[in-house]
Amino acid sequence: MEQTTRRAPRNNNGNKITYNRLAPRKNDTLVYALGGLGEVGKNMYCIEHEDEIVIIDAGVRFPEENLLGVDYVIPDYSYLVRNKQKRKVLIITHGHEDHIGGIPFLLKSVAIEKIYAPRFAVALINRKLEEKKMLKAVKIEEINEDSVVQTKFFRCGFFNTVHSIPDSLGIIVNTPNGRVVTTGDFKFDLTPVGTNADYQKMAYLGASHVTLLMSDSTNSGIEDFSISEKKVSEAILDIFKKTDGRLIVATFASNVHRVGQILNAAVATGRKVCIFGRSMENVVTIAKKMGNIKVGEQHFLTPDQLNHTPAHKVCIICTGSQGEPLAALSRIAQGTHRYIKIMPGDTVVFSSSPIPGNSASINQVVNKLFRNGATVLTNSILNNLHTTGHASQEEQKLMLQLIKPKYFMPVHGEYKMLRQHKQTAMLTGIPEDNIFTCANGDVLILRKEEVIQSSYRIQADDIYVDGNDISGVSTAVLKDRKILADNGLCSVIVCIDSRTNSILCRPVIVSRGFVFIKDSQTLLKEAEMVVYHALKEKMMQKITFQDIKNTIRGCLEPFLYNKTHRNPIVIPVILNSKEAMAQMQQLRNQRMAEKQIEAK
């Protein structure tokens, strides 16, 4: 048979057409993250082919301390909004907030055809959407390890994994250009409390060729295997047997298996349980309804029954294991809780480990509990009060050996974690060139079972949510909040008559959070005169209200910085009438009264 040589494509002038290998082409499959890379939380991964996008998870990240007044951080959905003509389905791996918390915000911006989620996650999503009055906004279909989701270009299957919440799934996405597997959050526990991991299906995937694996990197820096949840339940039961007084146990509300073990230990030792914390109450209610927690109502106490039950018969399960200021345990430690006061003989158990950055808050709570007479037990080498829900290095190696991917992309972790997971993958034999340590917005191209990192990027910024407003708090607003927190504000009240273009009296400066008024009268009077002279000179010509505000800021800000080395926010207030003179005099009298109160 004669061999034919394929002629390179040419343009109308007969010149050879050169393609940019790194640019997406028509039949390529794109893989990218809108959240979850370079951070722990806000997980959202997308697989796109032509006019379809499969979205895997839609989470939130909880804000750091420097994000003042911000409730949640969510991904930027603008790329999905711009591609509104493309069909979109959302598949959920499990029910933790960093995987489902962004769903109400996503639904407000993007048309999602259907949400596919495992059983426990469906219950949590329904509760969340019910609170937001959005139950009818989208269809939700329950999936399990045997389900198949078929779209025009994708065929998705699932396999069981072990995590700290029931019904945790890994996802297999068969695309026109290769097979993509994402593990979701997982660990390997040979004696799990809930459903076991599906080792057989993972091994089958490894034998049948996986193009790209996306795997959880949270515990990439931790060596060896994590301890089993069964070991933790044994340690908790031992504490319950040895403790005579009240037991107060703090853990993550989302760790359903742990909450179940605590409840079982309480029942086994004859204690009645009282639940505190809104998220804890929600999770326990759902887990009882779904059958994940099998403890009868007769074993629970209402808050009013606590004081009428012997101390050795009481177990209190609450939120606040991370020292959150408004959580139940923090209020108990401060003595401000409505139902619980710490008494000598109480034992407080932290069945958790500190999330990085929370150690100081936890230590404050622990110190207050000790000061009030409680005995406090935390996770240490002496007692196994907590185990992680995420794979450590040896478990990550096992996943890589089972799946045997040709290409690998570490996900769900800070940059350091992603790099450490890359090193682990190289130890299992994956070539360095086949491992992609990406950032949010980076695009991987699947092309005929090859993976290439594209030069094309997608917008993937953080959106700061204040309340339920998904338009996002701008960086300018956050900057102002930071200035207010550090330097305070000065409000400059000026009374003018625009008809005669004249200033009617000396301005009044009111400050909050800037200087102590009693000790700074001279400074404020000098500042008032600086503004007065600057305005008097400026108003010799025709000016606008904006000119007046700019003049006030332009003269006052450098004056205050030179005197105090601080930069308060300066807010000009302009009163435009002779009648405003009376208001100005009233303000002066009020300030004099404040001075007299401070002097006393």
Q: How far apart are CA 163 and CA 176, in angstroms?
A: 31
Residue closest to 339 by CA, chosen among 367, 376, 296, 301: 301
Token pair 């072990």 is at which residue?
A: 162
On whether the CB atoms of residues 121 and 95 are closer than 8 A, the answer is: yes
Residue 24 main-chain phi, psi, to 5 deg = -65, 140
Bridge pairing between strands 272-276 and 314-318? parallel
Look-up of token digits 């008032």 = 528
What is residue 166's DSSP assignment?
Answer: S
Q: Are 110 and 88 in contact (CB under 8 A)?
A: yes
Q: Are 250 and 349 in contact (CB under 8 A)?
A: yes
Kindly state the DSSP code that residue 561 receives in the 8-state scheme: H
Residue 347: count of CB within 10 angstroms of its CB:
19
Helices (H), 114-215: 119-131, 199-207
The answer to whether residues 333 and 290 touch, using CB atoms and an 8 Å cutoff, is no
Residue 405, classed as helix, strand or coil, is strand
b or e along 371-390 (b: 16 or more beta carbons within 10 Å of the residue's beta carbon)? ebebebbbbeeeebbbbbbb
DSSP annotation string for 447-503: ETTEEEEEEEE----EEEEBTTBTT---HHHHHHHHHHHHH-EEEEEEEEETTTTEE
Q: What tokens does 429 get?
A: 């034999």
Query: Which of helix, strand or coil describes residue 183?
Result: coil
Q: What are phi and psi of 551, to 5 degrees?
A: -65, -45
Please count the other Cβ atoms lying within 10 Å of the Cβ belonging to residue 3.
4
Residue-wise burial string across 463-496, b where 16 or more C-beta atoms lie within 10 A, e elsewhere: bbbbeeebebbeeeebeebeebeebbbbebbbbb
Radius of gyration of the chain from its Cα atoms, rounded to whole angstroms: 31
- Angstrom distance (rounded) from CA 254 to CA 257: 9
Catalytic residues: 216, 390
Q: How many residues does the chain have?
A: 600
Give DSSP secondary structure letters for 252-282. -TT-HHHHHHHHHHHHHTT-EEEEESHHHHH
